[in-house]
């Protein structure tokens, strides 16, 4: 198979990055793998051959509004140089999928769309006018895909009504490698003032709804004054969240750790992990937490119900229900609930890659 991927992840140009490492694995599945990356010309990214059969191209766009146009121009250049493509795969069902759809028609190739976000969630559309436009784009492009890869059954169920009946849909979660990493991070030693350590590890963005967890903490500390919330991550909502903490006078109970590459010490030494998102594609941090023996409280999103079983290895609460979240935290802190937390059954890398390849092959049927 000769694959052309449309991506927006510029980390593929960084030697040693996890993204580049994954790409090298994907290259083992194809005869040729060409990757066009949405990137501004000002970044100065040069086209690169990173393996005998893997080629990277920057769209070298004038700005983000030109990414699609310049990706198409890049594909036309590849066509003129004699590059042949069997399948065009796109990293998302939005802008890269639109570029991929047009490029697939130009190159007379099949279209494979990957979906990592619960795009049909009502919360996704409510987030912005851009997302409302993206939903319309998804409804146009999904029926035109020859094969689709989603990261959760939740997403598969939500898009089936707009997918052609004979379009293959493969459910393949984000690959999470089971690791046993030693870490110097020990939340209990670092924050001995807390007798219960609640962990959030997330990008601080609107859809993650971390404010809901902070609001829940107001109720939690009224009965458990030594409970502490440690927020690991960074993002555009950080200032707003810190203002919320100050407004509720929770400065002694809520700690912002900033971004950390090492989450394993946090997982190992926290008492519960919380994910309060409005929507999720899957929830990789949830799987990582469970793999490290940490119970999870999460909203009804992503892998809730499939990986997190309510009352067994964690609790599932309604989206946006701050009171239910506070009650769940209170029950866990009080010790009323006992969980049986086992590492989820995860595919090996070879098993994962086999399904990934099959999803490409499905587009050729």
Going from N- to C-terminal start, the domains of the chain cover 2-175+348-362, 187-334
The closest alpha carbon to 122, from 150, 158, 97, belongs to 158
Q: 33 near 53, Cβ under 8 Å?
A: yes
H or E element, residue 273: strand 272-275
In this predicted structure, which of 67-76, 137-146, 182-191, 314-323 has the lowest mean pLDDT?
182-191
Question: What pLDDT is stored for residue 346 in this prediction?
Answer: 85
In this predicted structure, which of 44-58, 107-121, 330-344 has the lowest mean pLDDT?
330-344
Residue 177 scores a pLDDT above 80: no
User: Using one digit for the tens of pLDDT, what is the confidence trace for 243-260?
Assistant: 999 999 999 999 999 998
Say whether 80 sits in a helix, a strand or coil.
helix
User: Using one digit for the tens of pLDDT, what is the confidence trace for 278-294?
Assistant: 999 999 999 999 999 99
Task: Let me know if the fold of 2-175+348-362 is the same as that of 187-334.
Answer: yes
> Residue 182's pLDDT band (boundaries 50, 70, 90)?
low
Helix H segments across the chain? 18-27, 67-80, 95-107, 122-126, 129-141, 153-159, 187-190, 210-223, 238-247, 264-269, 284-291, 322-334, 349-362
Residue 183 scores a pLDDT above 80: no
Cβ neighbours of 319 (radius 10 Å): 19
Residue 167 scores a pLDDT above 80: yes
Question: What pLDDT is stored for residue 184 in this prediction?
Answer: 80
Phi and psi at 222, nearest 5°, equal -65, -30
Q: Give the residues across from 51 on adjacent strands.
A: 54
Q: Which fold has domain 2-175+348-362?
A: Rossmann fold (3.40.50)
Question: What pLDDT is stored for residue 305 in this prediction?
Answer: 94
Cβ neighbours of 331 (radius 10 Å): 13
* Per-residue buried b or exposed e for 177-211, using 16+ beta carbons within 10 Å of the residue's own CB: eeeeeeeebebeebeeebebbbbbbbebbbbbbbb
Phi and psi at 6, nearest 5°, equal -105, 120
- 3-state secondary structure string, 187-229? HHHHCCCCCEEEEEECCCCHHHCHHHHHHHHHHHHHHCCCEEE
For CA atoms 128, 131, 133, 139, the dihedral sign is negative
The closest alpha carbon to 18, from 275, 282, 261, belongs to 261
Question: What pLDDT is stored for residue 178 in this prediction?
Answer: 65
Question: What pLDDT is stored for residue 181 in this prediction?
Answer: 61
Chain-centre distance of CA 80, in angstroms? Answer: 35
Q: Is 305 left (phi over 0), alpha (psi -120 to 50) or beta?
A: left
Question: What pLDDT is stored for residue 180 in this prediction?
Answer: 61
H or E element, residue 58: strand 54-58
Average pLDDT, integer, range 84-97: 97
Average pLDDT, integer, range 347-351: 92
Q: Which residues contact 241 (CB under 8 A, 6 or more apart)?
A: 204, 210, 211, 214, 231, 256
Average pLDDT, integer, range 210-227: 97
> Residue 27's pLDDT band (boundaries 50, 70, 90)?
very high
Cβ-based burial of 70 (10 A; exposed 0-12, middle 13-18, buried ≥19): buried
Q: Cα torsion at 111, 117, 122, 126 (round to 10°)?
A: -100
> Residue 261's pLDDT band (boundaries 50, 70, 90)?
confident
Q: What rounded mean pLDDT belongs to the chain?
A: 95
Residue 179 scores a pLDDT above 90: no
User: Using one digit for the tens of pLDDT, what is the confidence trace for 294-333?
Assistant: 999 999 999 999 999 999 999 999 999 999 999 999 999 9
Q: Which fold has domain 187-334?
A: Rossmann fold (3.40.50)
């Amino acid at each position: 198979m000769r694959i052309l991927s449309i991506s927006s992840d510029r980390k593929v140009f960084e030697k040693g990055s996890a993204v580049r490492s994954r790409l090298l694995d994907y290259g083992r599945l194809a005869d040729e793998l060409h990757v066009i990356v949405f990137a501004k010309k000002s970044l100065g990214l040069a086209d690169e051959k990173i393996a005998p059969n893997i080629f990277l191209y920057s769209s070298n766009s004038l700005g983000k509004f030109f990414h699609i146009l310049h990706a198409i121009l890049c594909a036309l250049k590849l066509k003129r140089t004699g590059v042949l493509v069997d399948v065009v795969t796109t990293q998302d069902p939005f802008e890269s999928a639109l570029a991929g759809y047009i490029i697939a028609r130009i190159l007379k190739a099949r279209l494979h769309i990957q979906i990592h976000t619960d795009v049909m969630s009502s919360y996704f559309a409510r987030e912005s006018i851009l997302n409302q436009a993206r939903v319309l784009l998804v409804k146009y492009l999904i029926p035109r895909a020859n094969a689709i890869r989603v990261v959760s059954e939740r997403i598969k169920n939500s898009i089936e009504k707009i997918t052609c009946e004979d379009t293959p849909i493969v459910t393949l979660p984000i690959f999470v490698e089971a690791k046993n990493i030693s870490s110097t991070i020990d939340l209990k030693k670092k924050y001995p003032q807390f007798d219960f350590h609640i962990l959030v590890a997330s990008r601080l963005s609107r859809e993650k709804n971390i404010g809901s967890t902070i609001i829940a903490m107001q109720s939690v500390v009224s009965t458990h004054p030594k409970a502490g919330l440690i927020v690991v991550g960074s993002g555009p909502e950080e200032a707003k969240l810190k203002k919320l903490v100050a407004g509720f006078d929770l400065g002694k109970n809520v700690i912002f750790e900033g971004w950390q590459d090492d989450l394993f010490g946090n997982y190992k030494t926290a008492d519960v992990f919380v994910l309060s998102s409005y929507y999720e594609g899957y929830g990789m941090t949830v799987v990582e937490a469970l793999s490290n023996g940490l119970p999870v409280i999460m909203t009804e999103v992503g892998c809730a119900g499939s990986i997190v079983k309510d009352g067994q290895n964690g609790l599932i609460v309604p989206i946006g229900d701050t009171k239910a979240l506070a009650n769940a935290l209170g029950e866990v802190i009080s010790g009323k609930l006992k969980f049986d937390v086992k590492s989820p059954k995860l595919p090996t890398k070879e098993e994962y890659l086999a399904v990934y390849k099959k999803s490409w092959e499905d587009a050729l049927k």
